[in-house]
Amino acid sequence: MASYAWVLEVRTGYEEEYKRRHDEIWPEMDAALRASGINSYHIFRHGLTLFGYFETDDLDATISALADDPVNKRWSEFMGPIMKIDIDSSTNFPFLLPKQWSLNK
């Protein structure tokens, strides 16, 4: 399973709201992420910086599935006002960080 990561930002004053929304993530959004091929997904916060880590076997299929999913579109519109999101225009997905090193079993 390949792993990927992104860095985004929560807007000042919305830190607790961001956490609350994810604590109450819509069941249909959870299902959309799983249906897109994401096996594991974690988001961490340091100050205003958000670090997302996820695993999928087929990144292109995952990006395509989420791009076409109406639930993901609604979630993005719901979260957009409280975040600063930098999108890669070539993928219409957040910029993914280049892997520098990994330790595997």
Q: In what order do the strands lie in the sheet with 2-10?
A: 38-46, 49-56, 2-10, 83-84
Write down the catalytic residue from 11, 20, 22, 42. 22
Q: At CA 79, angle to CA 64 and CA 13, rounded to 5?
A: 145
State yes or no: is 46 an active-site residue.
no
In DSSP notation, 87-104 reads: EETTTTEEPBPPP-----
Residues belonging to the active site: 22
